Every structure is written in C-alpha cells, then in structure tokens.
Structure 1
Amino acid sequence: MRRSTVAAAVGALVAGLALYGSAQAQEEPVQAPGAQQSTLRAAAEAAGKFVGTAVSDGRLNDASYSEIVSSEFSSVTAENVMKWDTTEPNRGSFNFGPGDRLVEFANANDQQVYGHTLVWHNQLPGWVSNGGFGAAELTQVMNDHITEVAGHYAGQVAYWDVVNEAFNEDGTMRPSVFQTTIGDGWIAEAFRAADAADPDAKLCINDYNVEGINAKSDGLYNLVSGMLEQGVPVDCVGLQSHLILGQVPGDLQENIQRFADLGLEVIITELDIRMTTPSDPNRLQQQAQDYETVVSACTAVPGCAGVTVWGISDADSWIPGVFPGEGAACVWDENLQRKPAYDGILAGFGS
C-alpha cells in the first residue's frame, strides 16, 4: 500500500472512531496499518532496493498470477524464454516473441527487466553443445549470439546475466563447451561482446553456492577481481541463493560486502528456500526467518541493489523436479496464497 493510501485509511479510521466519542476512541486508539498491508515492491523501494521475480511466460495469461507479478515486484526476470535454446534454436534463426512479451508486460507495469541469460552451459541447443566447433568458430558463435540477443533488447534490459554458472564447487572453472573449447578467456570475451551490444545494460556474472565465503565464491571473487584489473566491463555479481531451510550462510552479509567493495553491484538473483515436504507451521516460520535474514543482509549493504525470488508459487517451482521430496520453497503456496515468507521479506526490507 502506498503512503497516500495509508494516510487515507488512517484518516477514515480516525473519523469512524470519532462517531463513538472520545472515551471510546481512548479505549481503542487508532494505529497505522502494519507492514503486512504493504507490498514487497513498496517495502523494497523504501529501502532503496528493487525486488524481482522470475516470470513463467505460460502463466502471464493467468489474471491472478499476473496481478501478483505486477503489483508486488519492481523487476522481472524471464525464467526461461531469454535462454539460448529459446532465443536461437537454430544457428542464425532468432525467436524473440516470448521475451518481447515480458518486456511489454514490464513496460506496462513500470518494471525493470533483468535479462537471463546470454551464455550458459545448460539449456543450449544441440547445434552449440554438440557442434564440434574449434575455438575461433565457437568464439564467433558466442559473440554473434550475444550481439543479436543483447542488441535486440538494447535499452530495454537493465541487467544481463552475461555468464551463468561458470564454476565448479572447488572454485575451478566448470568444463563447459566454452571453457574446454575457447579456454580461460571466454568469459571476458563474452562481457566485451555484451558491452558492445548494449553499453547501457549492467553486466553480471551469476552462480549458485557462492552466497557464503567458500572455495567457489573465492574463485568467483578472484575472477571478477582479475577482470576488473584488465578493464573488462563487468558491473555486478549475482548470488543465486537457492537455499535450504535453516542453512543461510552466517557470512552472507560479509560476502556481499567484499564483492561490493570491488565497486560491483551485488544482487540476490534466484532466491528460494526449500524444505522437506509436506510443510508444517514450524518449517514455514523458519522459512520466513530465513527469507528475512537473506533480505536483511542485502538491505544492510549499500552496494546490494536488490533481491529477486525465483518464481511466485510453489506450484510452479523447479525444486520438486530436481530434489524429490523437497519443495515449498516460494513465497506463495500452490493456491497463490501468501506464506509467512512474505512477511519475512517485508521485515528484511525494514517494513
């Protein structure tokens, strides 16, 4: 609820109580509506952050779903339709229709678009992953893809995950087709191509299990530090934050701060917190506390630009399909009803 609406509501309450006389009013003093009557979007804005969600293209025609997306979030990320297998299923043949729908939706609802993702080892069309290209040709293929996709959306996308999930758990480079064919320079090459295609977009590298200070996040830190020293146009780091109930890293804020100290923006990009299913009230309260902890860590660091949750509803979550017996990771349940996690996020933003 926006401030003007809150003020009007308070005024109406005061006027109503006056009808019962001052004594009654003293017994039941008027209080401003609590944080639970705010929206995530308003709470994030008040904290100087954005709050986003991943959007399923197939759900935008669902009025209840699209109403939550439009009213609760200031940023939208395409869950799948800006990935390589959708945007360039065949070499040189591009499909921008689904991504364009999200951009139109965002424009209609005064939201920013977070582009995800230009280069990733997963959800690649077979002609890329099994193409048998040499280093020079695969570099050209990668650069052409980045040029076309980022160029198509130039001026319409605020952030791009240029490179996604490039690291092994021990901090070494994942042996993707790009790493094994092109070599260590492929990430810097991708960032330079993205910068040339859209100089105004903020360019990010994104990964999971890098929320705390560990071997993997150290590898990421060393990579981006080196790229900055080389003048590579990297602007931000995305911490995916696919977390497990009760296991938010204790050094999350410290980790956010060290990346911010490099002059980078830090973004919580794919937040969800899974549990053993079925859920119960105790687990849902722990989940709310965990969401609050994560969002509070971002709120506490000026260089943390915002938080994106990975999807709206437990019914649409990717978790059960990958982690059998686990789920209930989102902020809304299968029936699009708010869970305690919603109030946890509000509290994390200081609402």
Structure 2
Amino acid sequence: MKETSTRLRPRQDTSSPYLNTAAKAKGKLWFGSATDTTTAETSDVSYMTIFNNSNIFGQTTPANTMKWEFTEPTQNNFTLSAGNETIALAKASGKLVRCHNLVWSSELPSWVTGGNWTNATLLAAMENHITTLIQGYGSSCYSWDVVNEALNSDGSFTSNVFLTNIGEAYVPLAYKYATAAVTATGADIKLFYNDYSIEALSTKNTAAVNLVKTIKSYGANIDGVGFESHFSTSYYPTTTQQEQAMASVAAEGVNIHVTELDVACSSVPCSTADLATQATAYYDTISACMGTTACTGMTVWDFDDKYSWIQPSSNGGEGNPDLYYSNYTRHPAYTAVYEAIEGQSCSVC
C-alpha cells in the first residue's frame, strides 16, 4: 500500500488505541515486543518513544543478548551486561521481561559446538550455564525459555551438540537444573519451552505436548509453552486451528504465551491485498489467545519493519512483517490486533 499524505499518521505514533492497556483490561498479563540492544534501535529516538510507552507494550524479550554466545563466550567467563541492558530498558518503563534463552542449537560459542565432550562434562557445563544465568538475572526475569526449538517438524529432536553427547534427556535435564536454580533464588520465575510450527494441531504439536509430559516425569517444573507464531501472508493458521493447538498444550496444566509474532508480506512494499491478509493473520492469532484462558501474554518479535529480522534481501523478497512501518506509522494490522483484543470484528481484514 502506498502511503499518501492524507493517510499518514504522525511520526512516533503513540496515540490510542493502546494494545497493552487493552490486553490487561481483558485479563492478560501483557501485550509486548521483543527488542535487540545489539542493533541501532535502542539509540533511535523514534523507536524508543514507542517502545517506552507502557500503554502500548508492557513486556519485552531480549532478542539475542541472553543467548549462550553472548552470556558465556568462553567457558566460565560469564558476561551478563548485555542482557542487563534490556532489563534496564524494561524497568525504566515498567515492563516485565521474558528471558530468552538458556539452551538452543544456534548462537552457541565455538567452545560449546567444538568441544571434546562426554555426557558428564557437557551436562556439567549445561547445568553451570543454566544455574549461573537464572541466579545472575534473578527476579528481573518473569520467565525463562529454558530450551528453545528442540523439535523438527516430524517430531524428532533437532540435531545439536547436546543431543549428540547427552541424548534426548538433555531437554528434561535442562528443566531439572532450571528448577533447582529457581528454587535457590527464592523467586517466582516461570519456566517455558519455546518453539515454532506448533500453532496448529500437527505431529510437532503432539511432540511438544509429549515433551511437557517427559519434563514433568523427571520431577522438573515447566510452567508453559511459547508459541513463536512466525507467519506470512502465504501461510498462517486460523483462529480455530490455533485455539485447538493451544487447548492440546493447556490440557497438560501449563500456560501459553504467544512469543514471537510477526507476519511477513510476500513482497515489499506490501500490496493492499497483502496488508489485509496480514491483518487477518494477526487478528486470528490474537483472537486465539484472547479466547484461551491458558494463553496469558502476547509478544510481537519487534514492532518496527526497519529493525525486523525478516528483511527482503535475506528472505526471498518477504518483509514488512511488523505492526509499524519503518517510518513509525502503523500497519492496518495494529488496528486488527486491537479489535481482536476487544473481541470486535476486524475492520481492516
């Protein structure tokens, strides 16, 4: 859609309606956005004017700075300062923080991926990493994504150094270590599993449900499952499909967060048709969470196209997936999200 002067909202659009205020009024914990202090966004005044408005966003997730390569770049050399930058930003505007993540196949330092490990030595390193981060960040974290993206689409485990040297037990053992670390802090820190392509009933959704059961069988705690929700105008599950997927997970007595929501247009700039489809995809996802008691919070994976991880040059032409354009005016999807929170029909879909 080509924006014209008669359709442009003011820059740094912080006008009502307010997504976080609306979500909390309906009983949810937050509507939030990820942010990334490794990019220029946090020194961008226009970006921060919107991010800091707690009426719009009441929670944040550090996109990268709490991952292993940032927090333990060499063994036993812990650097928590980058993650603390995100925490400081959150506290300055009254936001909760979903800390992300402790164990994942990607963004690992070479000493982990290239180490000469045994089962026992890698378990010890994993336990040390989990314990140090949970205790180091402490109650500043509302929750932790303990293990991230451990499953393939067929329900098998993703190949990584942990699976190779420890086996499938690395997942429940990570939660066992995390449970002990949380207990030692005395804080109420929630433990989540986070993954993509579990937002509709599927083999992978079933595998995620079984993973929750396995974690519990080890005597470990798991409080919830994060539905990443990275969609596009070419594919997104309907409200009903997402409600069914959420129900299958909630049946295990855990909560759900929508953790990384974005919807990429098939080409950039988004066509009028793509903007309507994008709004529908956002609307359906938020509607599913609003209609599911166990879904307690919703987070977009950054809010501004300028800083999105989905850029046309590296994603086959897809892009502009967020709620704000690069000039800090709003996509129609912003209206769709608000209408979904309020239980209204979508006027822009």
User: TM-score w.r.t. structure 1 length?
Assistant: 0.87
Contact 2:130–2:174 (CA<8 Å) still a contact in 1? yes
Larger Rg: 1
Structure-2 separation of matches of 1:67 and 1:302: 32
Give the one of 328, 331, 334 matched to 1:342: 334
**C-alpha distance in 2 between matches for 1:107 and 1:114:** 13
Paired residue for 1:66? 48
Verify the 8 A CA contact 1:209 1:217 in the aligned structure 2: yes
Within a 5 Å distance, the mapping from 1:209-220 to structure 2 comes to 209-220=197-208
1:126 paired to 2:110:
yes
Could you say which residue in structure 2 is the equivalent of 1:308? 299
Query: What is the CA distance between 1:274 and its match in structure 2?
Result: 1.0
Q: Which residue of 2 aligns with 1:263?
A: 253
The within-5 A match list for 1:132-211 is: 132-199=116-183, 200-211=188-199
Shift of 1:80: 0.6
Is residue 246–residue 290 contact of structure 1 (8 Å, CA) maintained in 2? Answer: no
* Rounded Cα–Cα distance in structure 2 between residues aligned with 1:217 and 1:48: 26
What is the aligned partner in structure 2 of residue 224 from structure 1? 212
The answer for the alignment partner of 2:79 in structure 1 is 95
Establish whether residue 46 from structure 1 lines up as the match of residue 38 from structure 2: no
Deviation, 1:229, is 3.9
Letter paired with 1:74: G
Kindly provide the amino acid, as one letter, of the partner of residue 203 in structure 2: A
- 1:322 deviates by 4.3
Secondary structure of 1:347's partner?
helix
For the 8 Å contact 2:234–2:266, the answer to whether it is kept is no
Q: Percent identity?
A: 34
Residue segments in structure 1 that go unaligned for 5+ positions in a row: 1-35
Deviation per CA, 1:103-148: give whole Å up to 9, x if none.
1111121110110100101000000011121111000111111111
SS of corresponding position for 2:265? strand
| Superposed CA offset, 1:28-80 (max 9, x none) | xxxxxxxx822111111112111111101132222211121121211100011
1:209-247, CA deviations, whole angstroms, 9 ceiling, x for partnerless residues?
Answer: 111111111111111123224432111001111012153
Total equivalences in the alignment:
316
Distance 1:215 1:197 in 2: 32
Q: Aligned with 2:27: secondary structure?
A: coil
How big is each residue's C-alpha offset from its partner over 1:268-309, in whole Å with a ceiling of 9 and x where there is no partner?
110011121121122112211210110000000110011110
CA contact (8 A) 1:154 1:197 kept: no
Structure-to-structure mapping, 1:290-309, within 5 angstroms: 290-309=281-300
Aligned counterparts of 1:223 and 1:196: Cα–Cα separation in 2: 19
Find out whether 1:287 has 2:278 as its counterpart: yes
Distance 1:167 1:46, change over 3 A: same
Query: What 5-or-longer segments of structure 2 have no aligned partner?
Result: 1-14, 344-349
Q: Give the root-mean-square deviation of aligned CA atoms.
A: 1.4
Structure 1 residue runs of 4 or more that deviate by more than 6 Å after TM superposition: none
1:11 alignment partner in structure 2: none
